[in-house]
Structures are given as structure tokens and as C-alpha cells.
Amino acid sequence: MNHVKITGYGTALPKNTVTFDDQTRYRVVSGETQISLAVEACEAALKQGSWSIADIDCIVSASAVSVQPIPCTAALIHEQIARGTDIPAVDINTTCTSFVTALDTFSFLIEARRYTRVLIVSSEVGSLGLNPNQKESFELFSDGAAAIILERSENPEQGIICGMQRTWSEGAHQTEIRGGLTAYPPSNYKEETKEEYMFDMKGREILSLVIKKLPKMMADFYTESGLSAEMINKVVPHQASRAMPLLMKKIGFSEEQYVNSIKEYGNMVSASIPFILCKALAANEIKEKDVILFIGTAAGLTTNILAMRI
Amino acid sequence: MNHVKITGYGTALPKNTVTFDDQTRYRVVSGETQISLAVEACEAALKQGSWSIADIDCIVSASAVSVQPIPCTAALIHEQIARGTDIPAVDINTTCTSFVTALDTFSFLIEARRYTRVLIVSSEVGSLGLNPNQKESFELFSDGAAAIILERSENPEQGIICGMQRTWSEGAHQTEIRGGLTAYPPSNYKEETKEEYMFDMKGREILSLVIKKLPKMMADFYTESGLSAEMINKVVPHQASRAMPLLMKKIGFSEEQYVNSIKEYGNMVSASIPFILCKALAANEIKEKDVILFIGTAAGLTTNILAMRI
């Protein structure tokens, strides 16, 4: 067990909303950026925990898409909230589950006392890359950000019970933005190629691969962690799509056990999981001693499962 | 100390070279890609260590620039070398020092027995983003890749003695590729904006900031690690620029102590440090029991220093 606790959390949403039938989506307008959302979430987390930036000794950006090819996103966030300090800034990325990977990975560094108090932030403006011709994804995504402050706990019962990640690259091209970097450089952008630079999601294929793989991974996770479904107080799933409830049922969770905010917020890419976590902490729906299961499927195709006693 | 050892290493270079005066640079031509170089380096590392992919339980891509905005680069490498497995794939990024950050970070997960044997790969095709109007950087960069296999050591003396990272974001815009992602989307690409999508390096400003910050960081590193300059057998510095020897002198290393391959290979971005390491291991210039100091300055501005007993 890695003994960690959350001692600060905050979120940020764009001001503008759009609706598709009964579904609300948040979308940035001029002046709002991936960085401005990240900064707002970080500042909210610092304020909620009554911390100043000097109390933080590592800034981790855990987003799917970066702000610039160079430098890393954490350095650009650092510029806004930590300029003049020498706090290390690192990006970690497993697409939609980047936050869970950051929580998992950096809990080892906190457990080993390399870092004392780590700020983890996920921020996404997926709406900028949507393809209006792909109705499913065009109507699914919201922009937003969420940040937490993670530090060592002296309580022997508190922290990360088990983390697990699996990548099945037969699904590597089921969720993509192909263009913008070295595979399809921006210099090739033209009217005929513009869809290469937009989000491309093959929902049915993803679902079919996940249904094939997830039940075994869930069973292996229970074996490795010593946990069972009844021991979990709340499941915080990535809000991947409207098919999420189907997947939850498939791995044995009832509607009461998991958070479903697809209708209210849609899929915020890497920010979905921490956003829901922060909202639930603020509403006291997740509280100390609860065992939380984070679970999410990401482009890659990657799945992360992580259990934490809050 | 995190008890780890390198049990496989490999490199890859493009076939094509260009020369600027006496400086040789490697540049991809049609058919060679960031992925093909990464795959070649990974396969060489597996072969050198007599491993098969089934022996690896985590694939870490530690490159500055990614292949696609989505999914992460490690998943695309996984597709070529590990398709059909469920080995987790993760990207970690601190620009030019991404390899050192990966080594540092994942050594904690190996020490804690989360992973047994991790493949770390850095691969770059920086030449695709160079600006012909910026002579300094245009003549500096090479493309290339390097991979290592890192696993637990049972030797109590072997492994990572100390790792340190600092980020000084007053230099966040001294090394950039601004365009291609959310800050400057590919859709804005046109003749008048094309330089926003190219590499932009302010060499003099970087040098001035590093000279101001590095000596204190080096002194703090010695204090924290208990090491001194005489205890280090070989310094493996990032081949940032022709000013690197000046920086080495500034922090007290003689020409015999560090590797300088600027003339032969230039700056390979994140691949520079592991490339030199692999070459030195192959030539037996770095051998068991040696204490190696990895040191590099990256866009961000980030500096990593890490000492490892091989």
C-alpha cells in the first residue's frame, strides 16, 4: 500500500454550454484555454486545501492532449502558478486515464519520500478537435479541468490499495487524433486532409474490445488486491460514453455504486475521473475511510483500475 | 537507493547524414519515422539482453515530441512490438530529459516491485520541425532513438543513488514548438504562420538562465546524494549545444570526465542521453560498478541530475 491522502481539490469549467437533447456539454470560448482551465483548477485546489504553491514539491500534468509540442504542459502550467520557484514539472500520459496513472505512479514517489506534496492536474479542451461529421463524439465531449493535491498519510489504513494498467494495442487506432505532430505534421494541413487533425472514435469497435478484455482484468484485479465488489463504497468510472452503464453492469456494479454524469458533463477526456472525484469530495459523497475504485478505458487501448482508501 | 540495473540496450539511427562544416547530423528520409526508429531501438535492446517482449511488464516512451496527439506514443510502439499482450504503455515527458525522468520515476516502481522489467525508449525526429532560418538549431539536431531494459537488482550497492529535477519556468518560452496542438491548432497553419509550427530556440537566453541556476543545483545534489565530483566515473550530459563543454567546466568537470558527441551526433533531443549511454555500454567505456552522472537541461526550463551505480 502507498500511504497517500488527498488534501486539496478543485475544478474548472468553461462558461459556455451547449445542449444535445437532454445532454449538457461545456465548451471553451475565446479567452478560455487548456492552460487557463488548468490554472483555475490548480488555484482552486490550493485554496481548498489552504496551501500555497511553496508547499508543493512536484507539479504533474496528466492530460491526454498537450498544449504545445514543446515544452511539456506541466512547465506551461508552472509558468502561471509557480514561476520563480524550482518545483519540478512533469507530464505523464495514458490518454483518458492519465490522471489515474499519475495518481498510481507518483504515489510510489510519495511513499518513498521522494516528494512530500504533489499537485496533479488534468485539463482538456477536446472540443477544439471534434469532427462535426462524427455525431457520436461531436455530441459527447466537454472541456474542463480538475486538480488534486496528494501527500503522504501517516494512517496505515489510508492510501492506494492496488493499481493496475493494461494496454491492448490491437485497439491503438480505435481512438485517435492522428495529425499535428510527427506522424501527420501541421504543414500537411489542407481542406482535403483536415479530418486527419480531428478526433476519430470508433465507438462500436472499442466497446467490443473492452467487453472482451475487461471482465478478466476486473477478476485479476480482485485477486491481486484482495478486494471484492462489496468492499467498494463508490466506483468513479471514466465517463467514456453513453455505453458506460453497460460496461459497469458487465463487471458487476449496480447503478447505485458508480457515478454517472454523462448527461450533465459528458466525456472530459482525462479530466473526467478527477472532475467527478472532486465534485463527490465537495458534496461529501466520498468521505474518509471510503474505498473508491477508479476505472477507465483510454485510447491505446489502455485500461486502468485503481483502488484507494480515502 | 532504488536497486535497478540495465539488462539490455539498443540504439537506432536514420541512414541519411548531412554535414555542417565538421559536424555530422542524422536525418530521417522517406520511410523512416519516429515509430520505426523507436521500434528498431527496442528490438535491439531486447536482442542485446536476450529478452523476448513477454519478459517486459511495462513500456515507457520518454520522448519530447509525440507521434500523434492521441493515443500516447508508448501505445503506438506497443502496437509494433507487443501487440496481443497486455503490457501497460505509458508516456512520460520533461522534454529533452524525459529519459532521465523515466529512469528516475520508474525505478521507484521497480524498487517497490510493482514492475519487474521495464522497457524505456526515447525516439526523436526533430529534423521534421526545424526552421531553416534559425541556423543554430537547424545545424544542431539529429534524429535517433535509444532504448534500455531496466530491472531490479539484488546487489545492495547497485542502482540509483540520487535523482533531482528542477523546473524554472521563467525559461518556458526559450525552447518551443508552439504549434500543432491546443495552443496553435494545425487548422491555423498557413505560409505566414508556419514558423509557429517550427522549433524555436533562444540559445543565449537559455545559457544565461542555466549558468545562473545550475551551480547551486549541482551543489545541492552533492549535499543530498553524499557524492562528490571525484566519486563520479563518467558524466553523461545531454548534448544540448556546442556550449555544453562550457557548462561542464562551470560545474567542475574536466573534458576527460564527460562524453562529448556533439560533433558526431549533435543534439538528439530526449534520445541524446540514452544514446550516449548505450554507445558507452557497448564500448565498455561504462561498466559495472561505475558511478554515472546523468545531467541535462531541457525545455521548460527543466534540469535533471541523476547518479546511478551501474
How high does pLDDT run on average in chain A?
96
Same domain membership, residue A169 and residue A218: yes
Residue range A75-101: mean pLDDT, rounded: 98
User: What is the full DSSP assignment across B211-226?
Assistant: HHHHHHHHHHHHHHH-
Residue A184 lies in a domain: yes
Domain residue limits at A229: 160-253+286-309
Cβ pair A130, A198 in contact under 8 A? yes
Which pLDDT score is estimated for A242?
Answer: 84
Verify that B296 and B182 share a domain, yes or no: yes
- Range B68-83 burial, b when 16+ CB lie within 10 A, else e: bbbbbbbbbbbbbbbe
Establish if A263 belongs to a structural domain: no
Same domain, B63 and B175: no
Q: Are residues B248 and B196 in the same domain?
A: yes
User: What are the cell numbers at B146?
Assistant: 535509444
Q: Do B302 and A82 touch (CB under 8 A)?
A: no
Last residue of a domain, one of A141, A156, A171: A156
Please name the helix (run of DSSP H) or strand (run of DSSP E) that holds residue B208, with its range, or none. Answer: helix B203-225
Q: Do B194 and A217 touch (CB under 8 A)?
A: no
What is the per-residue pLDDT for B243?
87
pLDDT 10s digits, A112-171: 999 999 999 999 999 999 999 999 899 999 999 999 999 999 999 999 999 999 999 999
In terms of domains, do A225 and A243 share one?
Answer: yes
**Residue A134 contacts B where some CB pair is shorter than 8 Å:** no
ipTM over 0.95: yes
Do A164 and A123 lie in a common domain?
no
pLDDT at position A241 is 87
Which of A104, A125, A156 is the endpoint of a domain?
A156
Which chain B residue has the Cα nearest residue A96?
A: B71
The CATH number for A189's domain is: 3.40.47.10
B121-159 confidence digits (pLDDT tens): 999 999 999 999 999 899 999 999 999 999 999 999 999
Q: Does B56 share its domain with B119?
A: yes
CB-CB neighbors (< 8 A) of B74 in chain A: 167
Total structural domains within chain B: 2
Residues A127 and A203 in one domain: no
Answer yes or no: do B20 and B125 share one domain.
yes
- Report, as an integer, the average pLDDT of A295-306: 97
Among the candidates B106, B121, B156, a domain finishes at B156
* Structural contact between residues B168 and B52, judged by C-beta atoms closer than 8 angstroms: no
A-contacting residues in B 236-295 (Cβ below 8 Å): none
B11 and B29 share one domain? yes
Q: Are residues A149 and A193 in the same domain?
A: no
Same domain? A166 vs A296: yes
Report the first-to-last Cα separation within chain B, whole angstroms.
Answer: 13
Q: Does A233 reside within a domain?
A: yes
| Residue B218 pLDDT | 97
Q: What is the pLDDT of residues B216-272, one digit of tens each?
A: 999 999 999 999 999 999 999 999 988 899 999 999 999 999 999 999 999 999 999
Q: For B181, which of A67, A78, A92 is closest by C-beta distance?
A: A67
Please indicate, yes or no, if residue A268 is contained in any of the structural domains: no
Q: In this structure, is residue A23 part of a structural domain?
A: yes
| pLDDT band per the 50, 70, 90 thresholds, residue A1 | very high
Contact A182 B76 (CB under 8 A): no
CA dist., res. A228 & res. A230, Å (int): 6
